């Protein structure tokens, strides 16, 4: 049942089916039941360009198999030249080259991350050793020890003895 947006549709149905994140691609027309719409699937507006997501590897592998099968077809002359074998060759070559570049850049980024991690640990180990050396050279209660981020021995809390409660009498 289709009704134009002239106040005929109850507000409860408008809120349910006229969600601002869902587009039924028919402005000013609401449906009492979305199953009555020409396209039964709502289009989510949040990701309006699905071609920015990576293609599922299974789908891509199927595409490669189809492309390889196309290479064996003789006399293929499509009506739309955008789908000619030469265009397919160009797009396939571009795809494989950019995938190889991505893999190389990812490996380089991984190596750079590993180098940075090693450098961070070397620096951290230097700082730990330096603090030990400051403590050994200037003492556990020196201002120099405090300046490198450690507590002076005199400023540490003294351990307090725990008072044990007297045994319960019966």
pLDDT at 15 over 50: no
User: Does 117 have pLDDT greater than 60?
Assistant: yes
Residue spans per domain, the chain: 2-47, 56-147
pLDDT band at 26 (very low <50, low <70, confident <90, very high): low
Instruction: Report the percentage of the chain scoring pLDDT > 70.
Output: 71
Give the distance from CA 143 to its chain's centroid.
47
User: Residue range 107-135: average pLDDT?
Assistant: 97
User: How confident is the model over 134-154, as pLDDT tens digits?
Assistant: 999 999 999 999 999 999 988
In 10 A of CB 9, how many CB atoms? 18
The 10s digit of each residue's pLDDT in 53-97 is 999 999 999 999 999 999 999 999 999 999 999 999 999 999 999
């Amino acid at each position: 049942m289709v009704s134009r947006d002239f106040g005929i549709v109850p507000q409860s149905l408008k809120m349910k089916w006229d969600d601002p994140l869902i587009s039924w691609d028919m402005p000013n027309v609401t449906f009492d039941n979305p199953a009555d719409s020409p396209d039964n699937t709502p289009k989510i507006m949040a990701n309006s360009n699905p071609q920015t997501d990576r293609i599922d590897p299974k789908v891509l592998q199927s595409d490669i198999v189809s492309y390889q099968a196309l290479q064996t077809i003789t006399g293929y002359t499509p009506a739309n030249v955008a789908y000619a074998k030469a265009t397919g060759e160009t797009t396939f070559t571009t795809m494989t080259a950019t995938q190889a570049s991505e893999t190389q850049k990812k490996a380089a980024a991984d190596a750079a991350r590993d180098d940075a991690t090693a450098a961070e640990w070397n620096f951290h180990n230097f700082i730990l050793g330096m603090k030990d050396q400051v403590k050994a050279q200037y003492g556990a209660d020196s201002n120099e020890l405090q300046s490198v981020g450690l507590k002076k021995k005199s400023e540490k809390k003294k351990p307090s003895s725990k008072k044990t409660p007297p045994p319960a009498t019966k």
